[in-house]
């Protein structure tokens, strides 16, 4: 059993909570109130900025040129393609670029990105890869699950599902998982434990991110 197979088995409860959240179900059947989705998508935008920083640090920590190149391409894709697509997509929901740029992190988003950046700066390369995997792998799994249920009667949500269920997202998810397994193959017990902790923690944060959108979470003052 590979590291990722093992950690998926150990984190099944957390992964099911993430994939089975009512926010996800509302996207899948088209019933999610638009104000909740707009809150989520603006938070996702500011999350991506910090996520790109984490991938850049992964490129700097990578143990070989091929892996460094892969993470560098991932950073370029987020900053120069995905975020442009995000802005275009958000415009369909009436969210302007000015609103996106003015978005402040909600508490959960702030906590999640702060954790990722701490791991990126202080953790090992393996720990960092394990920390970013729940986002990359989890969104593809959610997209695939929703796509298998059939497109909702909501063009915007159907487009979101197609984006994350698509072959490009699948290829990125599978390569990140493969890198994680390769690092784990030569990691010692302490690093394996740190990788597992990072993976499970970020899987919990992924579920909390859906909850943040569901409850329209913001700072109380």
Here the CATH number for the domain that contains residue 90 is 1.20.910.10
pLDDT at 42: 93
Catalytic residue among 4, 54, 90, 135: 135
Q: How far apart are CA 25 and CA 39, in angstroms?
A: 16
| Residue-number span of the structural domain to which 7 is assigned | 3-215
| 132 found inside a domain | yes
CA distances to 45, 58, 76, 79, 194 from 125, in Å:
25, 6, 19, 22, 11
| 221 found inside a domain | no
Q: What is the pTM of this model?
A: 0.95
pLDDT at 90: 87
| 220 found inside a domain | no
| 97 found inside a domain | yes
Number of compact structural domains in the chain: 1
- For the four alpha carbons of 113, 134, 68 and 164, in that order, the dihedral sign comes to negative
| 26 found inside a domain | yes
Interior angle at CA 107, CA 47 and CA 111, nearest 5: 65
pLDDT in tens, the chain (221 residues): 899 999 999 999 998 998 899 999 999 999 999 999 999 999 999 999 999 999 999 999 999 999 999 999 999 989 988 888 889 888 988 888 888 989 999 999 999 999 999 999 999 999 999 999 999 999 999 999 999 999 999 998 999 999 899 998 999 999 999 999 999 999 999 999 999 999 999 999 999 999 999 999 999 99
**4: annotated active-site residue:** no
pLDDT at 130: 98
Catalytic residue among 8, 82, 206, 217: 206
| 91 found inside a domain | yes
Question: Which two structure tokens, joined as six digits, stand for 180?
Answer: 């994680």
22 in Cβ contact with 214 (< 8 Å): yes
**206: annotated active-site residue:** yes
């Amino acid at each position: 059993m590979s590291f990722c197979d093992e950690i998926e088995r150990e984190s099944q409860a957390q992964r099911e909570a993430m994939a089975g959240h009512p926010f996800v179900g509302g996207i899948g059947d088209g019933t999610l109130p638009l104000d909740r989705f707009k809150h989520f998508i603006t938070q996702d935008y500011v999350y991506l900025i910090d996520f790109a920083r984490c991938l850049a640090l992964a490129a700097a920590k990578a143990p070989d040129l091929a892996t460094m190149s892969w993470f560098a391409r991932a950073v370029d894709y987020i900053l120069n393609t995905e975020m442009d697509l995000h802005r275009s997509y958000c415009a369909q929901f009436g969210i302007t670029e000015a609103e996106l740029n003015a978005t402040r992190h909600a508490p959960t988003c702030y906590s999640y990105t702060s954790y990722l950046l701490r791991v990126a700066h202080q953790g090992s390369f393996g720990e960092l890869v394990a920390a970013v995997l729940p986002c990359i792998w989890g969104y593809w799994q959610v997209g695939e699950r929703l796509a298998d249920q059939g497109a909702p009667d909501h063009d915007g949500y159907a487009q979101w599902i197609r984006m994350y269920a698509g072959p490009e997202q699948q290829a990125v998810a599978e390569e990140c998982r493969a890198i994680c397994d390769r690092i784990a193959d030569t990691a010692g017990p302490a690093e394996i434990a740190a990788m597992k902790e990072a993976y499970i923690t970020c899987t919990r944060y992924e579920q909390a991110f859906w909850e943040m959108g569901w409850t329209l979470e913001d700072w109380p003052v």
